[in-house]
Amino acid sequence: MLRDSCWRVGARLCFLRAGVRAAAESGRRALVSCIDPSIGLNEEQKEFQKVAFNFAAREMAPHTAEWDQKELFPVDVMRKAAQLGFGGVYMRTDVGGSGLSRLDASVIFEALATGCTSTTAYISIHNMCAWMIDAFGSEEQRHRFCPPLCAMEKFASYCLTEPGSGSDAASLLTSAKRQGDHYVLNGTKAFISGGGEADTYVVMCRTGGPGPKGISCVVVEKGAPGLSFGKKEKKMGWNSQPTRAVIFEDCAVPVANRIGAEGQGFLIAMQGLNGGRVNIASCSLGAAHASVILARDHLKIRKQFGAPLANNQFVEFLHDSNFGFSIHLLPVSRDLNLVSGKLSSASYDTECHGDSSGA
């Protein structure tokens, strides 16, 4: 099933590449495989998309260079986004979420990313963390943690990667030893988006033996004794979201903050990433969209050899007003959502009952 869906993604990419290449070779610009970003969406989704595009253009794009240069975490702008429902896009409505689908979320994140990809990527990670609590937490946990996350009164970070465990996440070493009604955490998480600025850390830690079945998921709140942060990482971009190590030194966390059963954490982490990868892919599509639009506009004003670059036949497809060029890979995004949706629906019931046999 996963293989078939991935094949469809690759096939669509090949089709789009072939369409652009064939049009460039033939010179018939009307045949270029470029589609309106709203094609394939229902009326409600078109409205979500329009609101997100407008917010990106008005509140994000004018500031994105400054945010990156000054390494600013735009809290106020993200809270404005939350007022539109973007702080908990696919969380349930009883805890303040918007109750939308994964495809709806993909459309929204793609549109927001045209304004600032870095900030949108963080918003998508925040959504992933809030969803994990909403999907796998108890009713008490859902109503305690999710409302301030959906409103972005508080911000969330996902803590899985460690200095010695990246792709091999099941080998993580951060330990959580139970002492009465608390776990005592020791270890370090690396490259955490929002580290030091976030209020809520969704942490994968080892409560049992080696391997995925020994991993549990706990929520650590900023200010917990023994929680500290490394220096802000120096990056070539994406500086509107801080990246730091998250350090636990005899950090006491209430057992009541454990999400799901002991040993269920790895499955919860992977379920989060199933949707998180779709979210990040959507952000990448939005960045591509904005990049092509900027390139198209530059071609109209940049002159060489006495004429605008737009007159060059090789790049004519970028600025033909007959079809209003807009790069968009919604079919790819839909297929990625299909992969995530199938995996989620196939395992959700099993995981919520604490069966980790799929690990």
Q: Do the beta carbons of residue 192 and residue 242 sit within 8 Å?
A: no
Q: What is the pLDDT of residue 217?
A: 98
DSSP 69-108: HHT---HHHHHHHHHTTTTSTTS-GGGT-----HHHHHHH
Given this chain, do its domains 2-154+267-352 and 159-265 carry the same CATH topology? no
Q: What is the pLDDT of residue 301?
A: 86
Cα 153 from Cα 149, distance rounded (Å):
6
Task: Report CA 203 to chain centroid distance, whole Å.
Answer: 17
pTM of the model: 0.82
Q: What does the domain layout of the chain look like in residue ranges?
A: 2-154+267-352, 159-265
The CATH architecture to which 159-265 belongs is: Beta Barrel (2.40)
Bridge-partner residues for 307, per DSSP? 304
Q: What is the pLDDT of residue 126?
A: 98
Q: What is the pLDDT of residue 330?
A: 52
Q: What is the pLDDT of residue 336?
A: 53
Please give the average pLDDT of every successive group of 10 residues along the chain, which has 359 residues.
Answer: 47 42 38 56 92 97 97 98 97 96 91 96 98 97 98 98 90 97 98 97 97 97 97 95 98 98 96 90 88 82 83 66 44 54 46 35
Q: What is the pLDDT of residue 7?
A: 47
Q: What is the pLDDT of residue 19?
A: 40
Q: What is the pLDDT of residue 139?
A: 97
Cα 220 from Cα 223, distance rounded (Å):
9
**CB neighbours of 13 closer than 8 A, spacing ≥ 6?**
329, 332
- Phi–psi pair at 254, nearest 5 degrees: -60, 140
The tally of CA atoms less than 13 A away on the side-chain side of residue 167 is 0
**CB neighbours of 80 closer than 8 A, spacing ≥ 6?**
55, 59
Choices 3.40.50.880, 3.40.50.1820, 1.10.287.610, 1.10.540.10: CATH for 2-154+267-352: 1.10.540.10
**pLDDT per position as a tens digit, 5-15:** 444 444 444 44
